[in-house]
Structure 1
Amino acid sequence: MPGGRPRAFDPDTALDRALEVFWRQGYEGTSLSDLTTATGINRPSLYAAFGNKEQLFRHALDRYVAGPGAFAAEALEAPTARAVVERLLLGAVELTTGPHTPRGCLSVNSVHACAPDSEPVRQEVIARRMAGEAALRRRFEQAADLPADRDPRVLAQLVHTVTDGIAVQAASGHTREQLCQMADLALRTLFPPSSS
């Protein structure tokens, strides 16, 4: 017979709720009370299922990357550099202005406001972001349509800067339509019609 009592909660649902709280409030702005209220799980059960707050946040980051943020990895499969950038920019707009998700981006919201005690979390987010930027750089290095004057490393950094800016603007209240206009202008600036 299996030992222990079965869980009285669904871990996937609990993780989704914790993700939403972290996404809305950032890591530093989220308390354990916020998490227990959102998940409906008491602290001992939360610790038993996910570990401490930092470990739960890492689980939430994984969930975010595999779920709402999956468009970023999928964009790398686009056939051209221009299409990769277009999917990243429009994906960022959709992610940060969705009707059923918090405004802004989980990693952007979490990396900018961390107390010294939370530095490991900040470094984790930065490392994941750098890995994403490196993957984008490698994709640009393989792109046949990349204009000759574009450095893949600098372009990857610039695209990440623009997608971060989209997240900040979304959190500040810009509309989806406004952000789509910005994304379109950025795309036309980076890939003028003559270089397409």
Structure 2
Amino acid sequence: MKTENKRGRPRKFDEDVTLDRIMLVFWQHGYAATSLDQIAEATGLNRPSLYAAFGSKKDMYLKVISRFANQMHAHLQEAGQSASGLQPRLKAVMAAAVDLYCGKSSLCNAAYGCLAISTLTTEVADDPDFKTMLEKVVQRMDQGFADLIREETRGTVPEAGVRFAAQHLSLILHGLSVRARAGEPPSTLQALAELAVDRLAPKPASESVV
């Protein structure tokens, strides 16, 4: 009688939920300091299962950065649609970003700042793929602000002014991320964000004439 070796069926898991767990590990420790053992412990999966589903550690990291960028974009876009007028909408976006950076959102419950800004910036010098990913994240942030400004100003602000304001607002977000991870109180970050919007939000040409 032929004996058949039966292998246990691999345990099914939700890839999105697992990626979110992987994301939190990288978010807390950064890319270099994160081990596959930490990822395995956080996900409940062994290394072969992780490799089969998500590829190498680098592949996992790039996947979660991309997932984070999409989630953050949706989070900030929703906030921006909750108000009307340029400055109120920009302040709503900034407030939502501060909440996310300080662990007050559905994405994370710890003050880790922005996943991309907090972890990618330390890796770009050694890996062109990480540099490309960081450039995409920054450009997407710039584009989001620029689109909002264009929508609210309806052609009354020169394109150069739109891009200038968008890039500077992105810079403010980067700084808020660093300060959040360093433990700056959310109230201070919110105040800095609102002041930045007051100073950087472009005025339509008709309003800038005294």
TM-score (norm 2): 0.77
CA spacing shift, 1:191–1:135, aligned 2, 3 Å = closer
Pair 1:171-2:181 in alignment: yes
Partner residue, 1:182: 192
Determine the C-alpha separation between the residues in 1 that align with 2:40 and 2:112. 22
1:62 is paired with a residue whose SS is helix
How far apart in 2 are the matches of 1:184 and 1:135? 18
Q: Is the 8 A contact 1:22 1:30 kept in 2?
A: yes
Map 1:83-98 → 2, pairs under 5 A: 83-98=88-103
Cα deviation, residue 68, structure 1? 5.0
Conservation of the 8 A alpha-carbon contact between 1:28 and 1:118: no
Higher RCO (CA < 8 A, seq sep 6+): 1
Matched, 1:18 2:27: no
Residue 21 of structure 1, CA deviation:
1.0
Q: What is residue 57 of structure 1 aligned with on the other side?
A: 61
Q: Distance in 1 between matches of 2:200 and 2:130?
A: 33
Please list, as runs of the form range in 1=range in 2, the aligned pairs for 1:96-107 lying within 5 A after superposition: 96-99=101-104, 100-107=109-116
Contact 1:18 1:60 in 2 (8 A): yes
Residue 177 (structure 1) shift: 1.2
**RMSD after superposition:** 3.0
The alignment status of 1:152 with 2:162, answered yes or no, reads yes
- Per-residue displacement from partner, 1:160-192 (whole Å, max 9, x unpaired)? 000111100001110111111212222222359
- Shift of the 30–189 alpha-carbon distance from structure 1 to 2, 3 Å rule, reads same
Flag the 1:42–1:6 CA change in 2: closer, same or farther, 3 A: closer
Which AA in structure 1 matches 2:178?
V
Distance verdict in 2 for CA 1:120–1:16, change over 3 Å:
same
**Structure 1 stretch displaced more, 44-53 or 107-116:** 107-116
**Any gaps of 5 or more consecutive residues in structure 1?**
none
Aligned with 1:33 (options 34, 37, 48): 37
For structure 2, list consecutive stretches of 5 or more residues without a partner in the other structure: 1-7
Alpha-carbon distance in structure 2 between the residues aligned to 1:68 and 1:138? 16
Percent identical residues = 31
Contact kept, 8 Å, 1:24 with 1:102, in 2: the verdict is no
Q: Do 2:111 and 2:180's aligned partners in 1 also have CA atoms closer than 8 Å? A: no
1:128 aligned to which of 124, 127, 137: 137
User: Are 1:50 and 1:56, in contact at CA under 8 Å, matched by a contact in 2?
Assistant: yes
**Structure 1 residues 104 and 148: CA distance shift in structure 2, 3 A:** same
Task: Name the CA distance, whole Å, in 1 between partners of 2:17 and 2:149.
Answer: 37
In structure 1, give the amino acid aligned to 2:200: L
Q: Secondary structure at the match of 1:37?
A: helix
In the superposition, the TM-score normalised over structure 1's length comes to 0.81
